Amino acid sequence: MSQGEPIRVAQVVGKMLGGGVEAVVMNYYRHIDRSKVQFDFLVDADSTLVPRDEIELLGGRVFEIPPYQHVAEYQRELQRLFKQEGWKIVHSHINALSVFPLRAAKKAGVPVRIAHSHSTSGKGEYAKNALKAVLKTQSNRYPTHRFACSQFAGEWLFGKAAHFEVVYNAIDLDRFRFNAEARAQARADLGLVGDQFAIGHVGRFTAQKNHAFLIDVFAEVAKRRDDAVLLLVGTGEAGASVKALVDERGLTDRVKFLGQRSDVNRLYQAFDAFVLPSLYEGLCLVGVEAQVSGLPCLLSDAITREVDVTGECTFLPIDTPVEWADAICSLSKKSYEGRKSTSLDSFANYNIDQQADWLSRRYLQLANGDII
């Protein structure tokens, strides 16, 4: 790196499929001081939603590597790249799997190796949880530094005795604040009529997000409220099975599949309530976004309470659809129709400008040999 040039940080993001982790990294990249810090993205070759044009426009580079399932080939290519490019910092975002890229980085002599915990584990994913349990035993072996999106996620991956820094899933708060005009336009665009009660969910169609349970919940809500509709934002491998379940329940006209969207901030305006019955989360970015938008939020009790910035979220067990339906149907009209622009004071930790400034300074400290 020549004097005056930005340091380049290798961001190992795994498969870019339109999920929350990629959104977090891209949020930071858009707001970080790119005259001082640049990102290079190492992505699995089977990624489906790589924002290559935007990354390159911002000054970054994209390196495609073999999928991590091919462990030996994956590590060989990473080690080759780390030696070739000479990155001083490798920042891995693939949770327990960070063992593999950080092992390659250590072998290649990369001085700063950051493991970042964005997730945890939950019931139901037995094979995945078994692999995570094995890899977690090595989670402190290769990183020089540890980051986590929440205290809960950090303790899950690194252990309660380990030192790690919480790096918040920050967002552009102003983009998500409630706006009555934007709400009216978004509802019109979605074809919502009059006072239709719009229940919203944002998340990839994966087992973790528990869509089948959500359809059970909505089936119960639909029996009680003729005006209720369910809006599902996202794509993923479980999409076809969820659509089949909706058809089977006779809910086809009551559930809208909105696909992958770049205007999620507008969609929150159209919702009347936000639901997230995930099996597990590190700290759900969408939960923060929904609160900034002023929405009543009903969340799985498997999600860390750290996400409850406003103190007004409702946490429910994910084994009783009727309990969720009761909570949804008990929302007063005032709670969703009387939404106001949220005070941002309590969201200071999630202010992307402040957090990106912190991260830029932290990278520079580490690149300059401050390894505290």
Return the pLDDT at 2: 58
Q: H helices then E strands: how many in the chain? A: 15, 13
Q: Which residues pair with 200 in a beta bridge?
A: 231, 274
Predicted TM-score of the model (pTM): 0.90
Return the pLDDT at 212: 97
Return the pLDDT at 340: 73
End-to-end Cα distance, the chain: 22
Helix or strand (DSSP H, E) at 315: strand 314-316
Strand 255-259, strand 61-65: pairing: unpaired
Class of domain 7-170+351-367: alpha beta
Strands lying side by side in the sheet with 255-259: 255-259, 228-233, 197-202, 273-276, 297-300, 314-316
Residue indicated by tokens 């090595």: 138
Return the pLDDT at 335: 64
Strands lying side by side in the sheet with 37-44: 61-65, 37-44, 7-14, 89-92, 112-117, 145-148, 165-166
Contact (Cβ atoms closer than 8 angstroms) between residue 205 and residue 48: no
pLDDT tens track for 116-165: 999 887 666 656 767 888 889 899 999 999 999 999 999 999 999 999 99
| Residue 257 to residue 177: CA distance in whole angstroms | 24
DSSP string, 8-21: EEEEEEE--SS-HH
For residue 129, give every residue at least 6 positions away whose Cβ sits within 8 Å of its Cβ, in sequence order, or none: 121, 122
Residue indicated by tokens 């858009």: 30
pLDDT tens track for 250-279: 999 999 999 999 999 999 999 999 999 999
pLDDT tens track for 162-176: 999 999 999 999 999
Q: Which residues pair with 354 in a beta bridge?
A: none
Q: Which CATH number fits domain 173-343: 3.40.50.2000, 3.40.190.10, 3.30.300.130, 3.40.50.12500?
A: 3.40.50.2000
Helix axes of 211-224 and 321-329: crossing angle, nearest 10 degrees: 50
Name the segment(s) of the chain with CATH classification 3.40.50.2000.
7-170+351-367, 173-343
